[in-house]
Amino acid sequence: MKKIDYIYKNFDINAFCKNLKESVKNNQYEDGGNFLTNIVLASIRDLSEIKKEINYYQFTKKKPNNKFSKFVKKFKNDYSDEDVKKYFFEKNNILNLNTEDDDFDDLVDLLQDQINTGEFFRYFKKFFKITSYIQLTYKDTDSVFEDIICLYVPLNKKYYLFFYGFEKNGNDSSGTIKIFNNEPKYDEIYKIIKLSSVFRYSDIFKKSTRIFKRYTHFKHNKKLYSEGYKLEHKTNPHFLNEEDYFNYHNTKGDYSIASSFALSNPEKYFHRYFKSRKNVSSYLSLSSGKIKEKIGSNRFFNFVMSDKLNYRSNIKFIEKIIYSYDDLEGFLEYVPKNIQESKSLKEEIRILRLFRSNDKRFIIKVFRTNKDKLDDLIKSYMPSTIFNDPYLMNELINLDINCTADIGKKLKRNKNFMSKVKKLLDNK
């Protein structure tokens, strides 16, 4: 089924009314011209997309406190499509995930035009009625016009005055001008338009404007929107067990999901996912960022460095991953003594230990002695604890102003420290 046809077939008026109330309450103006389009897209039922997300929380052991994790906790693996609809569609007004694929812009362009010209609302005559359709044009410029729709939504018992501002340079906008309990007369709308602050070209508007009481919708240029009309709706596969879920993503090359199985349950999935030592080291090296936790609590690390595998005795493997860990001593407990004493590793371990000293004065002495090598030392040798220490970071920044880029997240929340950094930057 084409995506545009799927939207019309699965549009949920009840969800739309809820989303409309929420949107006009929190955001009555939006740059980009997608105000109504975004509300419509959030009101399209997509059962397969919701079930795909449920599978993610079922089988990847992710446990954030959100609606999907709560659903999994409540239903486990025993749920029906009706359970999904009642919980997400009806109770929580979650109809889809609004995921954007490579063709998303083409779909939005097509749908936005159908919405802003009123064609979408005319299709659903039972749910909507356009009581006024006005277009503002300007004598002083042909690059700008404003479409204004007064839309009656019976379920909300409200009349909404929406606008869509178009500019040839793409600087579009849209939103709500006003909401009425009773149908506004044309003269009332005209007066509101004259006094409204939402129109960016009000100064031009006050000088000269042509207003059309009705703006009949036009037939879409099929060639202009051909890419949008071609798009097919994709139905996501749903899985009943962990094995099938892992195999599918591992085979399809969705490594972000497949890897989570190997990392959280290496005893079962390690050999099915990792194909080489290089793959393993990339997950344990600096490419993954500094690992702050104690080594003993890292299940994957413990499995990789166990006697079941021969990684711990491979010097090149150890050389690749040793720089990733704050817990150097915990790391070294897994590395055989003969590997630690090798020519290539012995000196590296000595340097790594220098920056894990409790003597901050000594660490600063090392900073100053190696001022010309700070960048390399930061990347490879320093533990993350240094970047959250105001005393040590202050010295680093004074030695090299570029070190401000390495300030740790925790230290960034220190207002006193950051104010000093700002003053230092302002004086540079």
**What pLDDT sits at residue 247?**
93
* Domain identity same for 247 and 301: yes
Residues in CB range of 62: below 8 A, 6 or more apart: 56, 69
At 428 the three-state DSSP class reads coil
* Domain identity same for 13 and 107: yes
* Domain identity same for 178 and 289: no
> In whole angstroms, what is the distance from residue 231 CA to residue 415 CA?
50
The tokens of 343 are what?
């020519």
At 247 the three-state DSSP class reads helix
> In whole angstroms, what is the distance from residue 19 CA to residue 10 CA?
16
Give bridge partners of residue 180 from the DSSP assignment: 159
Pair 137, 209: CB distance under 8 Å? yes
Residues in CB range of 50: below 8 A, 6 or more apart: 84, 88, 94, 95, 96, 97
CA 119 to chain centre: 31
* Domain identity same for 400 and 265: no
Pair 259, 282: CB distance under 8 Å? no
**What pLDDT sits at residue 12?**
97
Pair 202, 193: CB distance under 8 Å? no
Question: Which residue type, as a one-letter code, is found at position 166?
Answer: F
* Domain identity same for 260 and 315: yes
In a domain, 233, yes or no: no
Pair 403, 378: CB distance under 8 Å? yes
* Domain identity same for 119 and 87: no
Which residue bears the tokens 């596969």?
237
What contacts 24+ positions apart, CB below 8 Å, involve 316-319?
A: 317/277, 317/280, 317/281, 318/345, 319/344, 319/345, 319/348
> In whole angstroms, what is the distance from residue 110 CA to residue 30 CA?
18
* Domain identity same for 35 and 166: yes
**What pLDDT sits at residue 367?**
93
Domain count, the chain: 4
Give bridge partners of residue 291 from the DSSP assignment: 325
> In whole angstroms, what is the distance from residue 8 CA to residue 119 CA?
11
In a domain, 237, yes or no: no
Q: Which of 183, 200, 226 is the last residue of a domain?
A: 226
What count of other Cβ atoms lies within 10 Å of the Cβ of residue 116? 23
Which residue bears the tokens 């207003």?
211
Closest CA to 189 of 205, 173, 211, 168: 211
Closest CA to 27 of 162, 178, 181, 176: 176
Closest CA to 139 of 216, 214, 218, 206: 206
* Domain identity same for 126 and 248: no
Q: Which of 319, 334, 354 is the last residue of a domain?
A: 354
Closest CA to 179 of 355, 41, 20: 20
Return phi, psi of residue 238, to 5°. Answer: -120, 140
CA trace torsion 332, 336, 337, 342 (10° rounding): -90
Closest CA to 96 of 164, 6, 23: 6
Residues in CB range of 416: below 8 A, 6 or more apart: none
pLDDT tens per residue, the chain (428 residues)? 999 999 999 999 999 999 999 998 776 777 778 899 999 999 999 999 999 999 999 998 777 879 999 999 999 889 999 999 999 999 999 999 987 776 788 888 888 888 888 889 999 999 999 998 887 777 666 666 788 889 999 999 999 999 888 777 777 888 898 999 999 988 888 888 877 777 766 565 554 555 555 444 445 456 667 777 888 898 999 999 999 999 999 988 777 889 889 988 999 999 999 988 888 988 887 555 678 888 888 889 999 999 889 899 999 999 999 998 899 999 999 999 999 999 889 999 999 999 999 999 999 999 999 999 898 899 889 999 999 999 999 999 999 999 999 999 899 999 999 998 888 887 76
Q: Angle at the Cα of 21 (from 20 to 27), degrees rounded to 5?
A: 80
Q: Which of 226, 253, 277 is the last residue of a domain?
A: 226
In a domain, 96, yes or no: no
For residue 282, the enclosing domain spans: 242-354
Which residue bears the tokens 């960048």?
375
> In whole angstroms, what is the distance from residue 84 CA to residue 49 CA?
11
* Domain identity same for 130 and 201: yes
Which residue bears the tokens 């919708």?
217
